[in-house]
Chain A
Amino acid sequence: MATNHAEHHDHHEMSFWEKYVFPLDHKIIGLQYLLTGIIMGFLGAYFSYVFRMQLAFPGIDVPLFGLVTSAQYNSLITNHGTIMIFWFAMPILVAGFGNYLIPLMIGADDMVFPKINRLSYQIFLLSVVVLLSSFFVHNGGFGGAWTAYPPLSAKAEYNLTPWGSILWLIAVVLEFVAFLLGGINFITTLMNSRAKGMKMMDIPMVCWMIVLASILFMASAGPLIAGAAMLLFDQTIGTGFFDPARGGDPILWQHLFWFFGHPEVYVVFLPAMGIVAEVITTFSRKKLFAYKVVLFTTFATGILSFFVWAHHQFIAGIDPRLANIFTVTTLLISIPIAEMLFVYIATLWGGAIELTTAMLFALGFLATFLIGGVTGVFLGASGADIYFHDTYFVLAHFHYTFVPIAVIAVFAGLYYWFPKMFGRFMDETLGKIHFWGTMVGFNGIFMPLFFTGAAGDHRRIFDFSNFPELAVSSLQNLRIAATVSVIITAVFQFVFLFNFIYSMFRGRKCTVNNPWKANTLEWFATCPPPHGNFPVMPEVYRGPYEFSVPGRELDYWPQNEKV
């Protein structure tokens, strides 16, 4: 049955249009998500460059942009946040890698619903178009911060972007719909379409993580979708859901938003952890230290992530008793995360570590995410948060979590799976230059911001020279250091972009199926795999991390090899 199927596809020549524009193949859809995400990532990074220039050199005529007005500044930071979370981290980590990897790694020929998969990307693309169009309407894009707290987001007389705010909200909801459709596909595929012999504990960690992330997303996004409908009516037809003068409650939006927003952190965090698990096991030639521990702590993280959201609202006027509870749960959730990091470090211990670019990025993830996690403890404690709230300390903290997740782990995954995706290797030397540039630049951006934040820099200030106690040169120098680091980091991303595009067409050819000598099923397919993925549908005989098994000649043992 399986061979017939593959032959059938070999006969069929698809037009460019069929193959790349309206594909049903999960790999092409995954790449569409990935490339769209990368493009949006560059856009978001450009926004951050513009507003960092304004903060370091207030009133400067920013090269490649011009003079930044306060309204533009608001719009830039809002859309930087929105794009980086919803149009960069989510599509790459969940939808991009999820689509590309899940069917390959579980030994299936495609997603269970290819047409729904295609629809998911099309809706996502529509959401991109709606978001981009919001920059060109009257008064420009939405400027009420990515959290869109009412009344600022609800009333045009406050946010001054009557169309931008509406388009922004519609784009976010469309994007949610796209990921719900995609998520249902991922979950069902993993549950029902695993290769023969693949038991629950044989599933590669990255597949588990992406699917658990999809479940978290599904369970948390519902109230916000309802809330978005309410906010949309507040904006457009003048209902008063979030208007205290008419009985509504703006705090309700904050709850709706963060009930989604905090699990969302784990929605992007888990796939990143999964990618890193694949990379470090392969390049340290060791079994994942404790597969079941990682899996069960992931479950624990997922469940706990629903009990921590109000730590974003400690000073928003929530009931103090609630703040106590959420402090405890927030500090609790650091336990499973720390446990996972320990397991990963234990996996490295005593391994034959090979420092490829992918491995460097994976190690970089562990090191920098640790800083993000540790600084989170300060903010999780409601007492300390009263001081730190809405300062650059918070900003530096969550960039120390999100940048490792959405940038560094993504690079690890890209360098690792690039040969599978395009049949060629990325250049290792350029990759290492890119790695060191990114790591130095990234730490250079956010390390100084911990200090400016602790000194009292508020997040949403357009021009610090208006605040005498903050406009001192010691703080301004730190701001300039951060901005210079932004430029350095950005320059090194062009090294990546060049490497990525050049290697796609001219890179060293990948002549074998399994260049990294890894165990998981995607390495059984050719580089790149054809439509239908496998020449023969693989069967699975063992777990995904059987490296350096004693008594075996080879130091790896593919899941599909019978003996």
Chain B
Amino acid sequence: MAGHVDSHDHDAHTDSDGHGPAFYIKIWAILLVLFLISVAGPEISHHKAVILVTAFGIAIVKAYMVAVNFMHIKHEKKYIAYIMFAMLGAVFLFYIAVSTDVQMTSGSNWENASAKAVIEQHKDFQEHIEHE
């Protein structure tokens, strides 16, 4: 009875698909290239779109690659992925509903005076950055 858990691992598992060390090293190499792009992109251009795509777009791609190839989420039961997406869904739901209050400084019939005051205090920050 003691060995049963290990044996489970084998039959439900992935390495029969030909995932060997060479495969993992290849994935790692791809991740490194993506990582270099994500660092280099924002260094080269300060354009907002470039930062968004290189830094955050690539982060999503990297996370996907790690989840699929290292965590083998593809080979799990489908609902594991659904559960993870549901949890992410909860996080985004939180963002969507809360950002209307916390991220904005004014809305329909309201304004957040103290947040506006804080922004006003720091309005010369652009000079501050260039000064650095």
A and B in direct contact, judged by CB atoms within 8 A: yes
CB of B118 within 8 Å of the partner chain: yes
User: Are B90's CB and A252's CB within 8 A?
Assistant: no
Q: How far is the CB of B79 from chain A (nearest CB, A)?
A: 10
Residue of A1, A219, A310 contacting most chain B CB atoms (<10 Å): A219
The 9 closest A-B pairs by CB, nearest first: A244-B114, A255-B98, A247-B118, A319-B100, A319-B107, A219-B90, A252-B102, A249-B102, A251-B101
Chain A residues with CB under 8 A of B110: 317, 319-320
A-B contact count (CB 8 A): 59
Residues of B within 8 A of A220 (CB): 90
Q: Is the CB of A322 within 8 A of B90?
A: no
A322 in contact with B93 given A244-B115, A247-B118 (CB within 8 Å) = no
The yes or no answer to A60 lying at the interface (CB within 8 A) is: no
- 12 interchain pairs, CB-CB under 8 A: A1-B1, A219-B90, A220-B90, A222-B90, A222-B91, A244-B112, A247-B115, A247-B118, A252-B98, A306-B90, A317-B110, A320-B109
- When distances are taken between beta carbons in the complex, the residues of chain A under 8 Å from B125 are none
Query: CB within 8 Å of A: which residues of B?
Result: 1, 86-87, 90-91, 93-94, 97-98, 100-102, 104, 107-110, 112, 114-115, 118
Contacts of A472 in B (CB 8 A): none
Is the pair A255, B93 in contact by a Cβ cutoff of 8 Å? no
A321 within 8 A of B: yes
- By secondary structure, the B interface counts as helix
Which residues of B lie under 8 Å from residue A321 when comparing CB positions?
Answer: 100, 107-108
Task: Decide if A554 is an interface residue (CB 8 Å cutoff).
Answer: no
Give the shortest distance, in Å, between B116 (CB) and chain A (any CB).
11
Question: B94's contact among A246, A255, A320, by CB below 8 Å, is which?
Answer: A255
Docked pose: A171 CA to B110 CA in angstroms: 36
Task: Return the chain B residue nearest A251 by Cβ.
Answer: B101
Which of the residues A223, A249, A310, A322 comes within 8 Å of B115, measured between beta carbons?
A: A249
B87 touches A219 (CB 8 A): yes
> Can you name the residue of chain B whose Cβ is closest to the Cβ of A303?
B86
**Within 8 Å CB of A223, what residues of B?**
91, 94
Q: A245 near B: Cβ within 8 Å?
A: yes
Give the chain B neighbours of A319 by CB distance below 8 A.
100-101, 104, 107-108, 110
Check A322 against B100 for contact (C-beta < 8 Å).
Answer: yes
A183-221 Cβ-contact flags toward B at 8 Å (1 or 0): 000000000000000000000000000000000000110
Residues of B within 8 A of A252 (CB): 98, 101-102
- Given the complex, which residues of A lie within 8 Å of B109, measured CB to CB? 320
Contacts of A310 in B (CB 8 A): 97
Contact A255 B101 (CB under 8 A): yes
A255 and B101 alpha carbons, distance in the complex (Å): 9
Q: Mark A306-334, 1 if CB is under 8 A from B, else 0.
A: 11001000000111111000000000000
**A259 contacts B by Cβ under 8 Å:** yes
Which residues on the A side are within 8 Å of B107 (C-beta)?
Answer: 319-321
Does B93 contact A306, Cβ atoms closer than 8 Å? yes
Interchain CA distance A249-B100 in the complex, whole Å: 13
Give A415 Cβ to nearest chain B Cβ, in Å. Answer: 36
Complex alpha-carbon distance, A50 and B80, angstroms: 49
Cβ–Cβ contact A322 & B97, under 8 A: yes
Bound together, the chains give a CA A249 to CA B114 distance in angstroms of 9
**Contact: A251 with B102, CB < 8 Å?**
yes
**When chains A and B are docked, how far (Å) is the Cα of A245 from the Cα of B91?**
27
**In the assembly, what is the distance between CA of A220 and CA of B89, in Å?**
11
In whole angstroms, how far apart are the Cα atoms of A244 and B116 in the complex? 10
List the A side residues contacting B100 at CB < 8 Å.
318-319, 321-322
A255/B115 contact (C-beta < 8 A), A219-B90, A220-B90 known: no
Question: What A residues does B104 contact at CB under 8 A?
Answer: 319
Nearest CB in chain A: distance from B120 CB, A: 12
Q: How far apart are the CA atoms of A320 and B111 in the complex, in Å?
A: 12
List 9 additional A-B contacts (Cβ < 8 Å) besides A252-B102, A320-B109. Answer: A219-B90, A244-B114, A247-B118, A249-B115, A251-B102, A259-B94, A318-B100, A319-B104, A322-B101
Q: Could you give, for residues 222-251 of chain A, a 1 whenever the CB lies within 8 Å of some chain B CB and a 0 otherwise?
A: 110000000000000000000011110101
What are the interface flags for A1-24 relative to B under an 8 Å C-beta threshold, 1 for contact and 0 otherwise? 100000000000000000000000
* Shortest distance between the CB of B8 and any CB in chain A (Å): 11
**Bound Cα distance A252, B114 (Å):** 14
A416 to chain B, nearest CB (A): 33
Instruction: Output the least CB separation between B85 and chain A (Å).
Output: 12
Query: B51 CB to closest chain A CB, in angstroms?
Result: 23
- What chain B residues lie within 8 Å of A307 (beta carbons)? 93
* A255 B97 Cβ-Cβ under 8 A: yes
Least CB distance, A317 to chain B, in whole angstroms: 7
Q: In the assembled complex, which residues on chain A have CB atoms less than 8 Å from the CB atom of B115? A: 244, 247, 249
Please, which residues of chain B bring their CB within 8 A of the CB of A320?
A: 107-110
Q: How far is the CB of A216 from chain B (nearest CB, A)?
A: 10
Cα–Cα distance between A244 and B101 once the two chains are bound (Å): 13
A317 vs B107: C-alpha distance in the bound complex, in angstroms? 11
User: Closest residue to A313 on the B side, CB-wise?
Assistant: B101
Q: How far is A247 from B125 in the complex, measured between Cα atoms in Å? A: 15
Alpha-carbon distance between A282 and B59 when the two chains are bound, in angstroms: 55
Most-contacted residue by chain A among B101, B107, B110 (CB, 10 A)? B101
Nearest Cβ on chain A to B86's Cβ, whole angstroms: 7
CB closest chain-A residue, reference B114:
A244
A310–chain B nearest beta-carbon distance, Å: 7
**Which residues of chain B come closer than 8 Å to A247, judged between CB atoms?**
115, 118
- Alpha-carbon distance A319/B102, docked complex (angstroms): 10
Q: In the complex the two chains form, what is the Cα distance from A255 to B90 in whole Å?
A: 13
In Å, the complex CA distance between A247 and B113 comes to: 11
Query: Roughly how many angstroms separate A220 CA and B114 CA in the complex, as a whole number?
Result: 29
Contacts of B87 in A (CB 8 A): 219, 222
Rounded to whole angstroms, the CA-CA distance of A178 and B41 in the bound complex is: 44
A315 to chain B, nearest CB (A): 12
Distance between Cα atoms of A306 and B97 in the complex (Å): 11
